[in-house]
Every structure is written in C-alpha cells, then in structure tokens.
Amino acid sequence: MPNRNVGSRPPRSSKFADSEHQNGAETSPLRRRLRQLYMAQSSGAPGSQGTAQDTNELEIGAFPDNIEDWQPENWLNEDLRTAGLSDLASSAGTIAASRPLHPAGRPTARPFLRPGSSPEISRAEGLTQEDAPLKDALEWYRESRIVPFDVPGHKQGRGNPDLTEFLGQRTMSIDVNSMPALDNLIHPTGVIRDAEILAAQAFGAAASFFMVNGTSAAVQAMVMTCCGEGDKIIMPRNVHRSSINSLILSGAIPVYVNPDTDNRLGIPLGMAVADVRAAIERHPDAKAVLVNNPTYYGVCPNLPAIVSLAHANDMKVLCDEAHGTHLYFGDNLPINAITAGADMASVSVHKTGGSLTQSSLLLLGDDISPGLTRQVINLTQTTSASYLLMASLDIARRNLALHGREIFARVTQYAQYAREQVNEIGGYYAIGSEICNGDSFYSFDTTKLTVHTRAIGLTGIEVADKLRLDYGIQVEFGDTGNFLAIISVGDRPRDLERLISALTEIRRGADGDPADMLFHEYIEPQMVVPPRQAYYTNKRTVPLDQALNEVAGEFVMCYPPGIPILAPGERITSDALDYIEYSRARGSKMVGTADLEVRNIQVLTDK
Amino acid sequence: MDLWLTEFSSPDAKFSIRVEKQLYSHTSDFQQIDIFQTPEFGRVLVLDGIVMLTEKDEFIYHEMMVHVPMAVHPNVRTVLLIGAGDGGSLRELCRYPDIECIDMVEIDREVVNACRRFLPEVAASFNDPRLNLVIGDGISFVRTKQDEYDLIIVDSTDPFGPGEDLFTREFYANCYNALHSDGIMTNQHESPYYDSDAQIVRHIHARTTLYFPITKVYQAHIPTYPSGHWLFGFSSRKYDPVADLRAEEWLARGIETDYYNIDLHRGCFALPTYVQQLLSGGDV
C-alpha cells in the first residue's frame, strides 16, 4: 500500500484548540487499540500487519457517531508514523475519509512539515458541498508561515510592495505555487481533485475540471477531445471565436448550421432541430455537435431534442455554456447541458457565478473519459495555474451549491422587474419568454436583460456608449440592434434603478429615425477552405475595402460579443464588408486582424 | 467609562463626540442605524457610522434646506422630499400652510421608525395630513413623474451606500423632468473641505448644471459635519435664488427660525474663493 496519508492534509479552520481533541482522543477505543498495536510493534511482536487490518475493520463499527468530537488525523497518524505503521496510518485515514465529515472544523497537526511526509490524497467522498477544500488548504498555507524558496518570486508579496499594497497582503500570500499540500492542477490527486469532485457533484456532472485559461480553453478542450484532424463537427456559425480557434487547433472541419434569425430583433437564435437533423443526414460521419446554451442574448435551443438526435447518430454533444452557469442552480430557467444529456459543457463560472475572471469549469457527462480530457487540457493549459483563480472557483461553487437557488430566484426577479420597467419607458423592447418559438428559440434565459433599441432610433452600441460615457454604467455589449445587461449574483436593486433611470433619460433625448438602421445580423458564411488550412496557408495583407471576394486569412468580429463576421477560410463578401463598416461607424469595437486598426486584412495567397 | 463616537473626516483627521449611552442599534436591509445620547449634542443619529444629525445642530441643516427655496418660489403647492427619513425637512416644510401635498420617498422604513421613537422633536410632522410617505427608492419614484412638483428637496445621506443613486446624473435628469417649468430643486451638496468630499462637490455641481439653467451653491456652518462647512445646491429652471428672493412675502409669513434669515439668504450664496474654483470645471 502506498504511503497515502490523509492525516497530512492541511488543517481546516480550526475551531477547537489542539488540547481539546487530545483529551477527547484519550477516551477513544480506536486510540486505545492503536496504542496496544504500537506497544506490540515496538516490542517486535509478529503478525502486526494482520492485526492492523483486523483493527481497521473492527473499528469501523466502533467509529463514534458524533463526528465533531472525533478528530483522528491530529494524533492518530502521528502516533502511527512514530510507530513505523504508516500503512495503518493510511487505513485509519481512509476510515476518516469514508465518514461524512462536519464542515465546521477538522483541525489537524501539520505533519507534512516533518521529514518523510506523504503527498496529499483526495478524500472527496467524505466532503460535502459545505466544504471548500482548496480554500481550506490555502488558509492553512497562509497560517503555516512556510518559508518559500520556490516560485512565485514575489514571495508572498514581499518582493513587490506596490503590488501588495494594491491587491492586499491576504491576496498575495496565497498567490502560490503547486506544492504537495496544495496539489497540482495538471495532475490533481489532493485538494484540487477534491474541489473538482465537489464541483462535479454541484453541477450534476460525472467529472469537472477547473480551468484557469478561461472558457475559451474549455471550449477548445471539448472540441479537441472529440475531434481530430479532418473530423467534422456540426455547429451554428454564431459561435464564439474560441470555437473556431479550436478548429484551427484540432484541424476539425466545421459543418455550419445557419442559426435561425429573429427578423424583428435582428438577433441570431439557436439551431432549429430540423436543421441539425439535415446536417446530420448530410454528414453522418460528423463526430460532434456544438451548441450554444444559451447564446449571449439568452436564447436556448431545444437541447434535449438535439442531444437525442446526435446520440442516435453516434455524435457527441458539446455545449458552450459560457453564459449558462446559473442554469445549473435556477428554477424556471432553461435546461442545462448536463441535465439535457450533453457530453461536455464549458461553463464560465466567472460570468454569472461569482468566481474571478478567467476561471471556468469544464463538465463531463458519463461517456467521456476524464483521463483523456485531462491530457487534452494539458496540451494548452498553463502548468502554473493560479491559486487565486482556483480558490475562487472552489468558493463560488460552494456558494452556488448552498445558495444558488435562492440567489438566482432573486436575480430572475430583478431581471423581470427591469424588463417590465424598461418596457414601460416606451420605445425599448426588453426581450422576454413571449418570443420563444418552440424550436430555435426554445427557451429564454430570463436572467438576461436583452434590450432591443432600434425603435428609438439608436443602435444598441450607441445606447451602451451613452450609458458608459454619460452615466457611468457599463453594460456587457451593444450590437446594431440590442444591448445586453448581465444581471447576476452581485447585483443590487439600486443599480438596476440607475440603469432604468438612465434609459429613461436616454429615451427622452433620442430622436433618431429607425428607418435608416441597417437590418442584418447573420451573415451566411461561405467557407472556401477549413479554418486550420486557412491558418497555415500563405497570406498577403490587403486593405479591407479592397478585399472583396478574397478568402479571409484571419478573423474580423465585433468584441464583444466576439462572434466572427469573417473567420479564416471564408469568402469576403460584400455583405460582410458592409456589415463591418456599418458596425464600425456605429461605434462597435472591431477586433481580430493583425492590423490593430482593422483597416487591413490578411487574405490567402492561393485561393 | 470613557465612550466616544468617532467619525473620520478624512483618513488622517477625526471628529469625536462623547457618548453617554446608546439608545438604539439596528441593522436594517439598507444600513446600520444607531442613536446615541451625548452630553454635548443631545441625541445623535448615526447611519453606517456617519453622523446624520444631532439634536443640537440639526436646525441649521433643515432650515437651510427648506426655507431658502421657499423664500424664492412664489407659490409652492406640491413638494417631493427624497430621503429625509429623520423628518427634519418635513417638519420645516409643514410650517407652510400653502403647501398642499408633500410626497416623501425614503428608502429605509427603519430610519423613520427609529427617529419617530427616539427623535420626536425632529420627526415631528409624520402625522401631517398633507404627507404621502412612500417607502421606496427615490430614483425609481422620480423617474415616473413628469411636470408634477414645484419643489424637490434631495435630503440624502452621503454618496456611498444607499444614498449613492441620489447623486447621479440620471437622477438629476429625472428630477428636472419631474418639476414644473418654474420648479426648484435643492440638494444636499456635501462639504468642499476634505479632498474626497470636494471631488463629490465638483461632480454634483457639474451634473446638476447639465440640466438646470440656474444652478447655485450656498453654504452653512454645521458643527457636526466633517469640517463644519457644508454646501447645498439650488437648481431652477426659472428663479435666481438671490435676484428672485421674495423677502417681504417670506417675512410676512412670520415663520420663526433659529439659523435662516433674509440677510443670511442673500449672504449664503457668496462663496469662498477656493469653493468657487472647486465648482468650476468639475467632471460629470
């Protein structure tokens, strides 16, 4: 048996003084029994191995019911290690791990500070959603005052006083490197594994992975796990750039499904089930279907139908749930990917769930190998994962698991109130479930405040700019017809009141004519070569206004939302060029090209 | 026992009041509410650790908030009071029999309840039949009003915490729209002295100036507020607070005051040079 010693866990916040469990421990039958063993071992009595096993089994039944009074790690393993019985120490730890543990405090000594300490192992089966194992480990680290002769070089902040002053000593002191007690994201066996298991349980998934390179990395990991070079993947064209980047990385070939469009609002919806079926029939060899759930605008497709269709044809279903964290914790919200039976889902916990920016979760269903997925993630993910980001995921997960329903009931209520008030102003249209169509707009994420602005003669971009420049209010994004305000775990009614008041005032000043507003949002792409091939083909740079009919070698998009107008390998059409110029003139921020001004574009030399 | 209530005027300066005992402490949905008995200032209302009023000097603030606009506007019938949960401004308003209707919007019911219980001299007029007390958000209430009021008084806490919204551009814009074309708005304008407060003074002035053609600032000396030097805003679509002062009419009302008087009205709009400079060129 390897020397896997649960007792070497960092302490959880200790609410008992050490002497208290020492006293409690004296009366424990297990301790008495182990004392006897210890005596036997030191007197060289034979057969101690069998006895130890015996003891283990025997004492499971004798384990005290009141777990709060039972703190075995503190003394038990220490004694056993002294006695040279590290195998038994491990068994005893396993006993502890197999019991439900109270979250309030499980104090231990710090045995791994001593020579010969063992690496951490997971004990997730003993943990509940009230635990935050990674947070606890970091608190232990902070309190242990370890002398760091490892990276990061700021050494708990001392080496960069200005930064420490700016971020605070508490933050800097846990910006640490992987070490045995803190586990390692690229190969987690201890507290990170525990935290990932708890996250999987909280989201109802078979497994979860903490992602510190954003949801973009999670989306790429999904595609690269399911698709190799030349494999086909069915997806709507209104995906985030990270999805198309994943095609460049993997070499997968996109089969684009035209998302339905709401003609009144000019927003792309989801894929209609019939369109997915047609794509599957045309490309029965496709490996996977990628679905946005929801889109930026809050549009959810008929995910259960798409899942059963895909599975019936041996295709995996990958969900970009960058905007869907709350779907796992809300009542009366659209179905989430895992519940709908999807195989993988990328969830930006930082977007609506309260973790730090760039932290994210990749969730697996039952039929994807976690080991393979981990290997794929490790292709591109950092080996110096930020503990600030990971701890934020751990704590956000706990908060969501314990309070998510209540939080998102409140968020939904806020959003509903805001919708009603915005619609009462007149001119604006705050989208609600009433425009669902039973297919490509199967359900609406009612926490989203998506507001259509065209009727007041302003684009969403213009309203978003006014809000920011004149009123100090930042919304998520504006496009040619709509703006989106994210309402989440951190919102307060008074902030909504400010938004509504500012919209009231903007409405008073708006005198634009809706007639001159361009209508089109979805541009049918003409893929000439697959994204990866385009990426690796020789290119030349031409001014954008002379690029008509060339094949794009790079992206052009408004950011946010980051949905490409042109992707590598696509024909540069007059529709696309018109739309780029219109969006730019209306104040949209254009990104994607090597030219930061987005006046030039790289095109393929050989068409 | 040596018990002191201390409020920081700036990170490096503080003001302390000896406390005899604490009469009330409650955390409402919006803020921490405390009321203390003190030997120097009588009862003191403290919200989130910041002195809101004391029995000894509250008259200065409330008289200046109310009588200045009331001595200018010839015919105030409808008034909107925003904040003002302690009832001091309401008490001063109720001394004008011509006023027909006072809508008062206070976000925190607990402030009203605590003041009615422990500061009855201040919260003296909550039974006035002209009062329509709305417990709610001022910014939300005012945006639904169009051309309804002769006078709006913004008697708010500081721009951090629940009063934050009442210092925003969108709020002032909506107040402008809620006023009749000859309406007046007066607002709590913070202190020009300490740096962080001074920045807010600039913002408030810049934001009100965006909407109101006439925006003047006046001052009073309030011993228990940081620096003691306090400002008020007077914004109107029609009346200049000094040129259009109706001194005789106001005097004829026979309202007795302890701080406000007609000479002071004319003088309080004369500002120190550094305050004039502060007010010019603020960012919205």
**In a shared domain, residues B45 and B165:** no
Put simply, whether B206 touches A (Cβ < 8 Å) is no
Read off the tokens for A594.
């090597």
Question: From CA B167, how far away is CA B207, in angstroms rounded?
Answer: 8
Question: From CA A198, how far away is CA A393, in angstroms rounded?
Answer: 11
B185: which strand partners? B152, B235
pLDDT surpassing 60 at residue B14: yes
CATH number at residue B36: 2.30.140.10
Say if B101 falls within a structural domain: yes
**In a shared domain, residues B238 and B262:** yes
Each residue's pLDDT tens digit, A537-554: 999 999 999 999 999 999
**In a shared domain, residues B48 and B169:** no
Number of H helices, E strands in chain B: 9, 13
CB atoms within 10 A of CB A430: 22
Tell me if A303 sits within 8 A of A471, measured CB to CB: no
Question: What does the pLDDT average to over A250-273?
Answer: 88
Which of A481, A478, A456 lies closest to A469, judged by CA?
A478
In the block, tokens 């708006």 appear at A510
Which residue in chain B has the smallest CA separation from A501?
A: B170
> Taking CB atoms and an 8 Å cutoff, what residues of chain A touch B139?
494, 497-498, 501
Vertex A69 angle, CA A68 and A72, to 5°: 95
**What is the percentage of chain A residues whose pLDDT exceeds 70?**
77
From A470, A494, A504, residue closest to B169, measured CB to CB = A470
Tell me if A215 sits within 8 A of A322, measured CB to CB: yes
Say if B233 falls within a structural domain: yes
Mutate to test the interface with A, among B170, B207, B208 (most CBs of A within 10 A): B170
Read off the tokens for A36.
């006897």
pLDDT surpassing 60 at residue A84: no
Each residue's pLDDT tens digit, A101-135: 333 333 333 333 322 233 345 555 679 999 999 99
**In a shared domain, residues B118 and B156:** yes
pLDDT surpassing 50 at residue B95: yes
**In a shared domain, residues B31 and B136:** no
All CATH 3.40.640.10 domain ranges of chain A, comma separated, are 199-402
Q: Which one is predicted more confidently, A205 or A71? A: A205
In the block, tokens 């607002």 appear at B187
Cα torsion B140, B111, B83, A474: sign: negative
Cα torsion A62, A64, A69, A73: sign: positive
What is the per-residue pLDDT for A51? 39
Continuous segment of H or E residues that includes residue A236: strand A232-236
Each residue's pLDDT tens digit, A292-346: 999 989 999 999 999 999 999 999 999 999 999 999 998 889 999 999 999 999 9
Task: Give the CATH architecture of domain A405-516.
Answer: Alpha-Beta Complex (3.90)
pLDDT surpassing 90 at residue B233: yes
Put simply, whether B140 touches A (Cβ < 8 Å) is yes
Each residue's pLDDT tens digit, B23-60: 999 999 999 999 999 999 999 999 999 999 999 999 99
Continuous segment of H or E residues that includes residue B8: strand B4-10
What is the per-residue pLDDT for A183? 93
A-contacting residues of B 20-39, CB under 8 Å? Answer: none
Model pTM above 0.90: no
Q: Helix or strand or coil: residue A348? A: coil
**What is the percentage of chain A residues whose pLDDT exceeds 90?**
59
Rg for chain A, CA atoms, rounded: 28
For all residues of chain A together, what is the average pLDDT? 81
Rg for chain B, CA atoms, rounded: 18
> Taking CB atoms and an 8 Å cutoff, what residues of chain B touch A504?
143, 170, 174
What is the per-residue pLDDT for A61? 33
Read off the tokens for A442.
């199967």
What is the per-residue pLDDT for A258? 86
> Taking CB atoms and an 8 Å cutoff, what residues of chain B touch A466?
none
Tell me if A257 sits within 8 A of A279, measured CB to CB: yes
> Taking CB atoms and an 8 Å cutoff, what residues of chain B touch A501?
139-140, 142-143, 165, 168, 170-171, 173-174
Which of A68, A46, A50, A70 lies closest to A58, judged by CA?
A50
* Sheet containing strand B50-54, strands side by side: B21-27, B32-38, B42-47, B50-54
Say if B11 falls within a structural domain: yes
Put simply, whether B13 touches A (Cβ < 8 Å) is no
Q: Which amino acid is at A331?
A: D
Cα separation values, A476 from A461, A479, A486, A517, B165, Å? 10, 10, 6, 22, 21
CB contact under 8 A, B137 and A493: yes
Give A183's DSSP letter. Answer: B
Which of A87, A120, A103 lies closest to A7, judged by CA?
A120
What is the per-residue pLDDT for A314? 97
> Taking CB atoms and an 8 Å cutoff, what residues of chain A touch B170?
471, 498, 501-502, 504-505
**Which one is catalytic: B34, B155, B158, B197?**
B155
Task: Give the CATH architecture of domain A531-604.
Answer: Alpha-Beta Complex (3.90)
CB contact under 8 A, A497 and B164: no
pLDDT surpassing 90 at residue A413: yes
DSSP state string for A174-218:
T----BGGGB-TTS--SHHHHHHHHHHHHHT-SEEEEESSHHHHH
Least confident of A53-57, A118-122, A271-275, A415-419: A53-57
Question: From CA B101, how far away is CA B79, in angstroms rounded?
Answer: 6
CATH number at residue B254: 3.40.50.150
Q: What is the total count of domains within chain B?
A: 2
Question: From CA B237, how far away is CA B228, in angstroms rounded?
Answer: 30
**In a shared domain, residues B23 and B65:** no
Question: What does the pLDDT average to over A393-414?
Answer: 95
**In a shared domain, residues B38 and B121:** no
In the block, tokens 């302890």 appear at B258
Residue A367 half-sphere exposure toward CB, CA atoms < 13 A: 11
> Taking CB atoms and an 8 Å cutoff, what residues of chain B touch A494?
137, 139, 162, 164-165
Mutate to test the interface with B, among A505, A506, A507, A508 (most CBs of B within 10 A): A505
From A471, A494, A501, residue closest to B143, measured CB to CB = A501
Question: What does the pLDDT average to over A560-588?
Answer: 87
Q: ipTM for the complex?
A: 0.78
Give catalytic status of residue B147 as yes or no.
no
**In a shared domain, residues B43 and B62:** no
Mutate to test the interface with A, among B105, B107, B140 (most CBs of A within 10 A): B140
Domain that holds residue B47: 4-54
- pLDDT band for A520, please (50, 70, 90 cuts): low
Tell me if A492 sits within 8 A of A417, measured CB to CB: no
CB contact under 8 A, B170 and A498: yes
Question: From CA A481, how far away is CA A459, in angstroms rounded?
Answer: 5
> Taking CB atoms and an 8 Å cutoff, what residues of chain A touch B140?
497, 500-501
- 3-class DSSP string for A73-112: HHHHHHHHHHCCCHHHHHHHHHHHHHCCCCCCCCCCCCHH
Say if B284 falls within a structural domain: no
**In a shared domain, residues B143 and B201:** yes
CB contact under 8 A, B137 and A497: yes
- Contacting B with CB below 8 Å, chain A residues are 470-472, 493-494, 497-498, 500-502, 504-505, 508
Q: Helix or strand or coil: residue B37? A: strand
All CATH 3.90.1150.10 domain ranges of chain A, comma separated, are 405-516
What is the per-residue pLDDT for A241? 86
**In a shared domain, residues B75 and B204:** yes
Taking one residue from A and the other from B, the number of pairs with CB-CB distance under 8 angstroms is: 46
pLDDT surpassing 80 at residue B192: yes
pLDDT surpassing 80 at residue A16: no
Tell me if B235 sits within 8 A of B214, measured CB to CB: yes
Sort strands B78-83 and B101-106 into parallel, antiparallel or unpaired.
Answer: parallel
What is the per-residue pLDDT for B96? 97
Question: What is the CATH number assigned to the segment(s) A199-402?
Answer: 3.40.640.10
**In a shared domain, residues B245 and B175:** yes
Put simply, whether B164 touches A (Cβ < 8 Å) is yes
Q: Which amino acid is at A439?
A: D
**In a shared domain, residues B48 and B184:** no
A24: Cβ contacts below 8 Å, ≥ 6 apart: A69, A70, A71
Last residue of a domain, one of B37, B54, B71: B54
Last residue of a domain, one of B54, B76, B91: B54
What is the per-residue pLDDT for A125? 62
